[in-house]
Amino acid sequence: MEKITLITGATAGFGEAIAHEFAAHKYNIIITGRRAERLEKVKGELEKKHGVKVMALNFDVRKLEDVKKNIASLPAEWQNIDVLVNNAGLASGLNNIQEGDTEDWEKMIDTNIKGLLYVTRTVAPLMIKNKKGHIFNIGSVAGKEVYANGNVYCATKHAVDALTKATRIDLLQHGIRVTGICPGMAETEFSIVRYHGDEAKAKNVYKGIDALTAQDIAEVIYFAASRPAHVNISDVVITPTQQATATYVVRREA
Ligand code: NDP
Ligand code: 8X3
């Protein structure tokens, strides 16, 4: 059987690009996401463009029972997962702590921390059983520093950073590789989601910047996954050339 990569949140952005990058290198792909129609569309495109096999699992990473049920529903040969990319995640809102919307907070904590944990808890035992595996957690520069009004999103990505390190230690004895990927500004649907659908506000975030693309991230992940078995790339911070830290950005004049 060919190699298999499972990517959470592959209906858009990084996840979709990562799916294409691994498919281009002839991995079979398991894609997940909540938007069923988009999931089917991405599945069709992957199959047509790369001629690989694709499984689409339609579930919300926040629901533990659904995570377990969907992974368990995979035929035995599909449970032989080589690479897991814990990508599904979001920022919701950009408010100071005293005015933050607690629904936004629940969404980010439940998706970025608990969802990532649920998927890892379900897939890691399969990797241990198969005596191989590589887990990528998508963190952020927001997991390395905090910035004004980023409070809860930054906290969730700091948690991802801690979990990446902890997972690497716990899975060390099983020879499973664990890599943290920490991007800066990348133009996907991320800011549209953060601003609750306000596309003009989202566009403005990247004004005067050659932002990262989803493809930039996908290529780095494939590079790390394709290193020889004895090499583990632990942590990668990737920013646009115009971004030095989470907040220090030099924009082109209009
Ligand atoms: P997008 O909004 O373009 O994509 C997010 C993906 O996550 C979608 O496929 C979405 O699918 C999925 N997703 C969100 N919530 C859930 C859920 N509850 N269950 C299952 N899937 C879910 O954003 P990006 O591609 O930019 O973001 C991907 C990851 O990268 C996130 O973890 C984000 O925090 C991180 N990141 C992004 C940066 C950026 O600047 N873009 C920088 C640093 C990190 P669906 O809606 O169909 O469920
Ligand atoms: C996404 C990048 O700078 O908006 O994690 O936090 S940032």
Mean pLDDT of all residues in the chain?
Answer: 98
In the chain, what are the domain boundaries?
Answer: 4-238
Give the pLDDT of residue 190.
98
Q: Which atom of ligand 2 is nearest to the CA of 194?
A: 4
Q: Please, which residues have CB within 8 angstroms of residue 181's CB and are 6 or more apart in sequence?
A: 136, 137, 138, 139, 217, 220, 221, 224, 236, 238
Cα(230) to centroid of ligand 1, in Å?
30
Is the CB of residue 54 below 6 angstroms from any atom belonging to ligand 1? Answer: no
202 neighbors 191 (Cβ within 8 angstroms) = yes
29 neighbors 55 (Cβ within 8 angstroms) = yes
Average pLDDT over every residue of 78-88: 98
Give the pLDDT of residue 1.
60
**Phi, psi dihedrals of residue 56, rounded to the nearest 5°:** -115, 125
Cα(61) to centroid of ligand 2, in Å?
20
Is the CB of residue 138 below 6 angstroms from any atom belonging to ligand 1? Answer: yes
Question: To test the ligand 2 pocket, which listed residue (14, 94, 95, 140) has its Cβ within 8 A of the most ligand atoms?
Answer: 140
- The pLDDT tens digits for 176-219 are 999 999 999 999 999 999 999 999 999 999 999 999 999 999 99
pLDDT above 90: percentage of residues in the chain: 98
Give the pLDDT of residue 163.
99
**Phi, psi dihedrals of residue 57, rounded to the nearest 5°:** -115, 120
pTM of the model: 0.98
Give the pLDDT of residue 219.
99
Task: Give the span between the Cα atoms of 227 and 205, in whole angstroms.
Answer: 34
Q: Which atom of ligand 2 is nearest to the CA of 150?
A: 6
195 is catalytic: no
Token pair of 45, please?
């495109």
- HSE value, Cβ hemisphere, 13 Å, CA-based, for 179: 25
- The pLDDT tens digits for 117-140 are 999 999 999 999 999 999 999 999
pLDDT above 70: percentage of residues in the chain: 100
Average pLDDT over every residue of 1-12: 94
Give the pLDDT of residue 254.
74
Options 3.30.450.20, 3.40.50.720, 3.40.30.10, 3.40.50.1820; CATH of 4-238:
3.40.50.720
Q: Is the pLDDT of residue 157 over 90?
A: yes
